[in-house]
Structure 1
Amino acid sequence: MNQLIRTVTLLWSLALTTGDDTVTCLYSQECVLPCKSDYREIIHWQKLERQTTVNVHSFYSGTDQLKYQNEAYRGRTSMFSDQVSKGNMSLILKEVRTQDRGRYKCYTAISSANKEAFVSVKVKAPIKSVDIKMTDDGITCKTSDVYPKPKISWTINGTPKIISPKDPQEDSRGLFSLTSTLPVQPVQDSLTYTCSISSEDSTQTYIASLTEEKTEIDLGQDITIPCPGSQGETGNFTLTFGSSTVLSYNSETPQPDRIQWNGIEVKVTSKGNIILHKLDSERHAGTYTCEKLTTQSRQLIQTSVQIRTASTVGIIIAVTVSIVVAITVAVIAYVIKKRRSKTSENNGQEGSGGTGHNGTPLDDRLQSEQLVEKRSGTWTD
């Protein structure tokens, strides 16, 4: 009987262990590591490293006990002290770092028993934005402050393009930045360059695209600036001219009917495109960029606008007339040259023909020359 009691007591004193919970914490944010237990007298949170155990937070005697807390967690941990008596032993971890990832143990105990629960912590710094722009080297995509390591892919008008990837750069915080440049293709109309940047585990993808358009109008004409995916899609839209903002609006709110900008009227159509009315100055020529921004994408359409003024038209006409005159002169010169060449060729044929027909034409010419010399008194037998 005594042996049975001792066996039961031993089994009771053994630690009760549960399976791991998995928690994904966002970089620099606050994160809760869950733990529930009926053993409320002693609570220790520890991080399990390969060679050692790190003290993260302790709670006993009704209060936090941080004398032996690891320096890396100083000022970043707390518990729901008012809920410990109800069995909530969860740890609050603040200002999450990439180094916080790993396996944690929640140890709870009373005088006669203890319990262990484990939490696997993953850390993510999601892709918040991607910058895409034209550079001297080509189309460049860039993102920063990402964890874990990101990866990138490119397409042109939907066709995949393979380029030599550059390794992401890691900073002192353990965050990654990535820059990739795609060489510009030969000049074509409406090329769309798209870069897709994904997290290492492919749970998030951010897409950025840049489309190039060109148009030419006469002074005083209207022009429609296209915007990406305008109709029926949510997002923030911004039209810029160089570094100047023309207008911006959110597709979920009423769109501005029309505004005045730089001396002209600007109107947003029902399809979300933007009309610039009566561009009456060369100062309106340049590159207009319409951008659509969402939480997971950035789309840009850059429209290069050229305006033909009266002086421009005059120059075009003058150059055209000069070209026509030059071509006409060249054609006339060519025709004259061909005719002279043909005449010379015919004369040559006549000369060679006289000596081949019993010499008659040649004799007649010689007799004519002798007669002329005789009459002038210069001829002798």
Structure 2
Amino acid sequence: MTNRSRFLLLVLLVFCLNSVSCLESVEGFVGGIIILPCIYDQPLPAEVNAFWRDKNDLSVLDINKSSPDYNFQGETYRGRVSSFTDKYKNGNFSILMTNLQKDDTGRYECYVKTVSYRKIVDLTVSDKPAVTKTDRPSSGAAGLKELPLVVLSALCLLLC
């Protein structure tokens, strides 16, 4: 993948993550990681409350007074969900979910109570695709592989 292609893909990711759509679908693999996006692009007060809930209305992550609060987090999410606390001031309440399980499949809702904003994310978790052996260049160099979407999304969230 060329540098220009990478740049265009990153621009596309930024556009998608900042879209006005309040419903988004993301896909992940068992054992993998995924970012569930929740970005509010209007001015916010200094302290914000936001809440992530799953399909069963179980707490995935609470953000109280602009700080993550794990006190009421559902047991299934403990140690697997984190957020980007330094990005709250920019309206980014996205979460990172690790060690994905098939049971994680479903609808998630991010509700930014302070401004009555809702973002709904449909997550699909499937088995990892079969790994196939790829040929390496004859020079012995490994060559550049395409970066997984989740890595690019994470970079975008950190850089934007």
> TM-score normalized by structure 2?
0.65
How much does 1:20 deviate? 1.3
Which of 31, 47, 56 matches 1:28? 31
Q: SS of 2:86's equivalent?
A: helix
Q: SS of 1:99's equivalent?
A: helix
Structure 1 residues 108, 127: closer, same or farther in 2, change over 3 A?
same
> What's the C-alpha RMSD, in Å, of the aligned pairs?
2.4
Which of 95, 98, 114 matches 1:94? 98
CA distance in 2, matches of 1:77, 1:254: 42
The aligned residue for residue 127 of structure 1 is 129
Matches within 5 A, 1:57-136: 57-110=61-114, 113-129=115-131
Q: SS of 1:56's equivalent?
A: strand
How much does 1:26 deviate? 2.1
Which of 54, 58, 71 matches 1:54? 58
CA distance in 2, matches of 1:90, 1:254: 42
How much does 1:253 deviate? 1.3
CA distance in 2, matches of 1:43, 1:103: 17
The residue type paired with residue 86 of structure 2 is: D
The aligned residue for residue 138 of structure 2 is 253
Structure 2 unmatched runs, 5+: 1-20, 141-160
How much does 1:235 deviate? 4.1
The residue type paired with residue 128 of structure 2 is: P
Identity %: 22
Q: SS of 1:119's equivalent?
A: strand
CA distance in 1, matches of 2:134, 2:74: 45
Are the aligned partners of 2:106 and 2:122 in contact in 1 as well (CA < 8 Å)? yes
The aligned residue for residue 144 of structure 2 is none
Structure 1 residues 253, 31: closer, same or farther in 2, change over 3 A?
same
Q: Which digits, 9 at most, give the CA deviation of each residue in 1:180-201, with x for residues without a partner?
A: xxxxxxxxxxxxxxxxxxxxxx
Structure 1 unmatched runs, 5+: 1-17, 130-205, 207-233, 237-249, 256-381
CA distance in 2, matches of 1:104, 1:65: 18
Q: SS of 2:89's equivalent?
A: helix
CA distance in 2, matches of 1:83, 1:103: 23
Are the aligned partners of 2:54 and 2:60 in contact in 1 as well (CA < 8 Å)? yes
How much does 1:29 deviate? 1.5
Are the aligned partners of 2:51 and 2:110 in contact in 1 as well (CA < 8 Å)? yes
How much does 1:117 deviate? 1.1
Structure 1 residues 124, 253: closer, same or farther in 2, change over 3 A?
same
CA distance in 2, matches of 1:90, 1:62: 13
CA distance in 1, matches of 2:37, 2:120: 9
CA distance in 2, matches of 1:90, 1:46: 13
CA distance in 2, matches of 1:108, 1:235: 45
Are the aligned partners of 2:22 and 2:118 in contact in 1 as well (CA < 8 Å)? no
How much does 1:60 deviate? 1.4
> Which structure shows the bigger proportion of residues in strand conformation?
1
The residue type paired with residue 52 of structure 2 is: W
Which of 36, 49, 52 matches 1:42? 49
CA distance in 2, matches of 1:69, 1:254: 51
